Amino acid sequence: MDKAVDQEKEEQTNLKAAAEDPEEEDNGVDLGKTKLLTLALDKINGSYNFSFHLVIGPLAQGLYSLKFHYCQNKMPGFKLPYSFTVEVKEKNLGGYLSAAEIPLSRLYICMAGVFFCAAMVWVYTLMKHRYSVFKIHWLMAALAFTKATSLVFHSINFYFINTEGHPIEGWAVMYYITHLLKGASSSSHWH
């Protein structure tokens, strides 16, 4: 006997529409108001299915759990096989990132701008004092530009995680490459 459980949350537009129109009936469960929840089972192609939509409000934030009890296996020595599939899609109103991670994309892009400006000031200083500059000073400029580039890619990566729910592989690879270059250039300062 197969049992499948699908837990899906509505897209951001549905959540916003429900928030804007409180009179409209929502199929979601408000955990702040519900103590006990019983779900109806549908039998499709020999397996049982049910799905539900949870709305976790400000009063019910924190850890939550989903518990599954298969009553057929309560008898000792007699076990019936079953399959259990759960699909969880967690999304905040602002995107897929947690509340603490949502501003990271903007923070990283701002810090990239700070590092880029600092690198430009450093290059200007090196050009102004051209005769007393060593190769290590240019390497330090390259380090600042690499850090700025790495932060740009990290910001883009977080943006796509927030909007799509997963990182875009190309941007993540570019971040790791520039991050490794930054590490290599910073360790070469000491040799």
Bridge partners of 150, per DSSP, are none
Query: Which residue segment(s) compose the domain that 128 sits in?
Result: 104-190
Q: Do 38 and 81 fall into the same domain?
A: yes
Q: Do 109 and 73 fall into the same domain?
A: no
Residue 48 lies in a domain: yes
Please report which confidence band the pLDDT of residue 6 belongs to, taking 50, 70 and 90 as the band edges. very low
Q: Which helix (H) or strand (E) holds 144?
A: helix 135-164
Q: What is the pLDDT of residue 178?
A: 87
Q: Do 81 and 140 fall into the same domain?
A: no
Q: In sequence order, which residues have a C-beta less than 8 Å from that of residue 110 and are 6 or more positions away?
A: none
Q: What is the pLDDT of residue 120?
A: 98
Instruction: Work out how many domains the chain is built from and give that number.
Output: 2
Residue 130 lies in a domain: yes
Helix 135-164 / helix 104-128 crossing angle, nearest 10 deg: 160
Helix 135-164 / helix 169-187 crossing angle, nearest 10 deg: 160
Q: Do 78 and 112 fall into the same domain?
A: no
Q: Are 11 and 92 in contact (CB under 8 A)?
A: no
Q: What is the pLDDT of residue 53?
A: 74
Residue 52 lies in a domain: yes
The burial class, CB within 10 Å (0-12 / 13-18 / 19+), for 105 is buried
Last residue of some domain: 61, 87, 113? 87
Q: Which helix (H) or strand (E) holds 167?
A: none
Q: Do 110 and 161 fall into the same domain?
A: yes
Other CB atoms within 10 A of residue 60 CB? 14
Residue 162 lies in a domain: yes
Task: Give dist(CA 156, CA 159) in Å, integer.
Answer: 5
Q: Do 179 and 114 fall into the same domain?
A: yes
Residue 56 lies in a domain: yes
Q: What is the pLDDT of residue 148?
A: 94
Per residue in 181-190, pLDDT (tens digit) is 888 877 665 5
13 has pLDDT over 70: no
Residue 98 lies in a domain: no
Q: Do 15 and 48 fall into the same domain?
A: yes
Residue 96 lies in a domain: no
Last residue of some domain: 58, 87, 116? 87
Q: Do 137 and 76 fall into the same domain?
A: no
Long-range contacts of residues 37-42, Cβ cutoff 8 Å, at least 24 apart: none
Per residue in 38-55, pLDDT (tens digit) is 777 788 887 778 777 777
Per residue in 85-140, pLDDT (tens digit) is 777 777 777 788 887 888 999 999 999 999 999 999 999 999 999 999 999 899 89
67 has pLDDT over 90: no
> What is the value of pTM for the model shown?
0.59
Residue 69 lies in a domain: yes
**Measuring CA to CA, which residue among 176, 132, 137 is closest to residue 154?**
176
